[in-house]
Amino acid sequence: MTLTDDEIDGIKAYIPRLCIARWPKGFKPVPIEKYDGQTNPREWLQLYNTAIRSVGGDSYVMANYLPVCLNPAVRIWLKYLLEESIISWGDLNRKLIESFQATCNRPGNHFDLTRIKQKTDEPLRDYIKQFCTKKTEIPNVPDQQIIVAF
């Protein structure tokens, strides 16, 4: 079986113009965790953007290097997008966010704190540690709600 140039050089979902990247000399982005669809795609893309831009990459480089930073399940998503359905890096960002926003783990809310109860024979120190750990995972909880939950 022989591979065509398209199968070797490009992502079928990209329009041909998007597949042409000018790779910066010595391109070597800092390693980042591969995107797995479980984390917030907006946050991951922000980190990815920073990593690629910090070594001189532009939107074309970001689009073409992206598959290297995706885990296999997310690469399959990219592979099976409609042919030439991605016209820009911004377009790819929007589609990735739309596809994975619902599957990512979300931070909890103040009600999660109320569910933490000290067990009968649990040391107070362990209970406080568990409560404080959960509290750090929940953004923007007013002090009053934290006190009520404790």
Give residue-wise pLDDT tens across range 63-96: 999 999 999 999 999 999 999 999 999 999 999 9
Cβ neighbours of residue 30 under 8 Å, at least 6 residues apart? Answer: 51, 54, 55
pLDDT of 7 strictly over 80:
no
8 A C-beta contact, residue 137 and residue 82: no
pLDDT-derived band at 149, boundaries 50, 70, 90: confident
Q: If you average pLDDT over residues 51-63, what whole number do you get?
A: 97
8 A C-beta contact, residue 72 and residue 58: no
What pLDDT, on a 0 to 100 scale, did the predictor assign at position 74? 94
What pLDDT, on a 0 to 100 scale, did the predictor assign at position 15? 92
Q: How far apart are CA 79 and CA 74, in angstroms?
A: 9
- Give the CB-side neighbour count of residue 119, counting CA atoms within 13 A: 5
Higher pLDDT, 114 or 58: 58
Q: How far apart are CA 47 and CA 29, in angstroms?
A: 11
pLDDT-derived band at 55, boundaries 50, 70, 90: very high
Q: At what angle do helices 41-53 and 89-100 cross, to 10 degrees?
A: 150
What pLDDT, on a 0 to 100 scale, did the predictor assign at position 107? 66
